């Protein structure tokens, strides 16, 4: 038996590939399936089942394309109602793969169909659980995503999750290995560990959710501090449940090179969003006007999903030369399939053609120190509120990037402000969005709070509630 965790850092997502005696199963595959097909071929094994832990909200699974390529059936737990052929398993149903078995443990709460898969090895020993979004390392799945579909409140779903954990997971042996669907950085939980594998025994000891004194305390703990789900989550659930276009066809259409003139004409005619995925340190020096910068070398796909929201949005790409296919693949993972093409030759071709360019006013942390006047200078901190609360520039406002659509309306374009995040990635996203919307009276700070903290600019951990976005 071989168990391989295939972890995708930008999505904080774990898929699983398991083989035994010439057969294999895959759990929660990503949209692009070629890597799985390559593994199956290299190992000389047959894919017997594709197990889905639930209808994912934060990424588009590769279950449909993988099933069509391999003829392996897709398996969901009880209550699932996909709009395609699938095996809807019963609670405690057992599937055999080679010399090992998978036992279905229905664990509703995150969603109604959420299922944990218990691995029983060749010796009949319960060895591991693939817990999906039911149990994370350090956390449990958020219980607010399935409220409308289940016609239940988040408190009711949290209560259901408590029963699932207490009756299905907690009685299992401490030696069992926990393989979750996500790790730190995913919006599917709020307190996940950076590790991606652990023992159930350790989780029983340290996971706050598993150590609540009562069901009522559990409900309060797991629902406290939940941020609104990103806008794209609902679209991804629908795609995973109803079906989607073949990834190779999506990629083929998107890989359309456009010279600067064709790019400009298409942008004007279509109203497509221009997405520039180059690093912030390059972007600010020159870009196609109206571009939104979300660097591919960061939490790219989640920020695209959170800030663009509608997966049907048409997109034109400006990427680092040679990065086009990678960007298109990563967009497709979160359902953004309407890429019309990319700027052939990247921004250099646009610049060489003599087209209009835009820039962002960016300064170093040391320059900020020389310009900053406490009580006079306005500073906007676009980090998460938890980061701001830990420490921030004194007198700064907390305006998280995730809520930029809410706080931009409060900006007085006549008042200059400085803006930063932790290191420059998020603040450049914010800067590009602001300029695309006509706001230009600001200065972005390179290196973010990390660089600012080393300059001697006054800092504090005192939180003035009037300066926090609510």
In a domain, 139, yes or no: yes
Domain that holds residue 120: 2-235
Q: For the chain, how far is it from start to end, CA to CA, in angstroms?
A: 51
Angle at 135 between CA 131 and CA 141, to 5 degrees: 115
164 and 63 in a single domain? The answer is: yes
Instruction: Please say which residue of 300, 328, 352 terminates a domain.
Output: 352
150 and 226 in a single domain? The answer is: yes
pLDDT in tens, the chain (470 residues): 999 999 998 899 999 999 999 999 999 999 999 999 999 999 999 999 999 999 999 999 999 999 999 999 999 999 999 999 999 999 999 999 999 999 999 999 999 999 999 999 999 999 999 999 999 999 999 999 988 888 999 999 999 999 999 999 999 999 999 999 999 888 888 889 999 999 999 999 999 999 999 999 999 999 998 888 888 999 999 999 999 999 999 999 999 999 999 999 999 999 999 999 999 999 999 999 999 999 999 999 999 999 998 999 999 999 999 999 999 999 999 999 999 999 999 999 999 999 999 999 999 999 999 999 999 999 999 999 989 999 999 999 999 999 999 999 889 999 999 999 999 999 999 999 999 999 999 999 999 999 999 999 999 999 887 788 75
Instruction: Please say which residue of 193, 216, 235 terminates a domain.
Output: 235
In a domain, 240, yes or no: no
Angle at 384 between CA 234 and CA 207, to 5 degrees: 75
445 and 342 in a single domain? The answer is: no
20 and 160 in a single domain? The answer is: yes
70 and 218 in a single domain? The answer is: yes
In a domain, 20, yes or no: yes
Q: Count the domains in the chain.
A: 3
State the Cα–Cα distance between residues 254 and 256, nearest whole angstrom: 5
Closest residue by Cα to residue 141 from 226, 211, 244, 230: 226
343 and 366 in a single domain? The answer is: no
324 and 413 in a single domain? The answer is: no
Residues 309, 320 contacting (CB under 8 angstroms): no
CATH number at residue 343: 3.40.250.10
Q: In what order do the strands lie in the sheet with 292-293?
A: 257-258, 339-343, 315-318, 273-276, 292-293
382 and 322 in a single domain? The answer is: no
292 and 326 in a single domain? The answer is: yes
341 and 401 in a single domain? The answer is: no
State the Cα–Cα distance between residues 122 and 141, nearest whole angstrom: 30
């Amino acid at each position: 038996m071989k168990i391989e965790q295939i972890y995708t850092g930008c999505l904080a997502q774990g898929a699983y590939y398991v083989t035994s005696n010439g057969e294999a199963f895959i759990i929660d595959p990503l949209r692009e399936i070629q890597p799985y097909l390559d593994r199956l071929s290299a190992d000389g094994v047959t894919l017997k089942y594709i197990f889905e832990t639930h209808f994912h909200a934060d990424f588009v699974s590769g279950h449909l394309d993988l099933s069509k390529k391999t003829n392996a059936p897709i398996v969901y737990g009880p209550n699932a109602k996909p709009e395609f052929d699938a095996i809807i398993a019963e609670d405690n149903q057992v599937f055999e793969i080679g010399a090992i078995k998978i036992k279905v443990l229905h664990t509703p709460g995150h969603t109604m169909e959420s299922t944990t898969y218990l691995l029983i090895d060749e010796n009949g020993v319960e060895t591991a659980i693939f817990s999906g979004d039911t149990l994370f390392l350090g956390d449990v799945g958020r219980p607010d995503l399935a409220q409308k579909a289940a016609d239940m409140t988040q408190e009711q779903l949290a209560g259901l999750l408590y029963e699932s954990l207490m009756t299905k997971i907690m009685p299992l042996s401490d030696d069992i290995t926990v393989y979750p669907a996500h790790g730190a950085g995913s919006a599917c939980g709020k307190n996940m560990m950076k590790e991606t594998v652990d023992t159930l025994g350790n989780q029983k000891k340290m996971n706050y959710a598993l150590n609540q004194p009562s069901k009522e305390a559990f409900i309060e703990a797991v629902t406290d501090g939940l941020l609104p789900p990103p806008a794209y989550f609902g679209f991804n659930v629908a795609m995973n449940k109803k079906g989607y276009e073949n990834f190779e066809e999506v990629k083929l259409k998107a890989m359309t090179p456009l010279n600067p003139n064709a790019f400009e004409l298409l942008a004007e005619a279509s109203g497509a969003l221009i997405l520039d995925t180059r690093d912030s340190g390059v972007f600010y020096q020159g870009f196609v006007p109206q571009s939104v910068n979300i660097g591919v070398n960061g939490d790219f796909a989640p920020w695209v999903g959170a800030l663009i929201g509608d997966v049907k949005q048409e997109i034109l790409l400006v990427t680092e030369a040679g990065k086009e296919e990678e960007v298109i693949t990563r967009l497709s993972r979160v359902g953004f399939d309407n890429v019309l093409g990319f700027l052939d030759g990247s921004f250099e071709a646009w610049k060489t053609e003599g087209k209009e360019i835009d820039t962002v006013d960016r300064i170093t942390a040391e320059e900020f120190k020389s310009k900053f006047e406490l009580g006079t200078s306005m500073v906007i901190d676009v980090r998460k509120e938890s980061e701001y609360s830990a420490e921030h520039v004194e007198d700064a406002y907390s305006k998280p990037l995730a809520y930029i659509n809410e706080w931009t309306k409060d900006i007085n374009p006549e008042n200059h402000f400085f803006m930063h995040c932790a290191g420059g990635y998020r603040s450049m996203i914010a800067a590009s969005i602001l300029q695309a919307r006509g706001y230009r009276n600001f200065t972005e700070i390179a290196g973010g709070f990390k660089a600012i903290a080393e300059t001697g600019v006054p800092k504090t951990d005192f939180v003035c509630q009037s300066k926090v976005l609510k």
